[in-house]
Amino acid sequence: MQPSTKDRTGWLPPDELAEVRERVPIVYVEAVPVRVDHLGAVQRVGLLLRQRPDGTISRSVVSGRVRYGETVREALWRNLSKDLGADAEPQLPSEPAPFTVVEYFPDPRRSGFVDPRQHTVALAFLVPVGGECEPAQDALDLTWLSCEEAVSADVAAEMSGGQDRLVRLALAHAGRLP
């Protein structure tokens, strides 16, 4: 008899996850947190500072898996709350639509977006955040940057896996790419 989804924790034990990562693309959501003005124009971009699996430190956007039985909206909310804290107040529409879909591959030549652990299909969202943010979980820090700073060469050098390109795509989508 199959256990109900209510009994499941939402993810796999490490050995099963490793096997799935070798065989199946994993679905992720990525959120570029932004501060907007009263007309909804993007003013600042929030970038996390985190330790990567290889031990290096880099800047990144909010990112995480979509769990079994979870809607994309629920996955966005969970990952934003996990990384930005419970008081972040992300403004999610009732039916979120990604501004792009990004494929991460272990091989950097495939798409320019790299995840050495797995093939990932990521739905990317631009998410206005209105509350107080405190980096949580594995996030070491959160910095709010102007649009110009967020796409600068210095910040791009602090990002990995193609995330600097994702930030540029987000700002272009919002009409705020300098």
> Which own/partner pairs from 130-134 qualify as long-range (CB within 8 Å, at least 24 positions apart)?
130/89, 130/90, 130/91, 131/87, 131/88, 131/89, 132/85, 132/87, 132/88, 133/33, 133/46, 133/84, 133/85, 133/87, 133/88, 134/84, 134/85, 134/87
Q: Which of 15-29, 32-46, 128-142 has the highest mean pLDDT?
A: 32-46
pLDDT by residue (tens digit) across 120-159? 999 999 999 999 999 887 889 999 999 999 999 999 999 9
- pTM: predicted TM-score of the whole model, two decimal places: 0.88
Single-letter code of the amino acid located at 67: R
Single-letter code of the amino acid located at 131: G
**Alpha-helical segments (H) within 24-135:** 72-84
Q: Say what the pLDDT of residue 82 is.
A: 93
Q: Find, among 159, 96, 105, the residue nearest to 123 by Cα.
A: 96
Q: Is the pLDDT of residue 11 over 70?
A: no
Single-letter code of the amino acid located at 16: E
Residue corresponding to tokens 């994309």: 72
Domains and CATH numbers, the chain: 25-173 (3.90.79.10)
Q: How confident is the model at residue 12 (pLDDT cuts 50, 70, 90)?
A: confident
Which has more pLDDT, 53 or 104?
A: 104
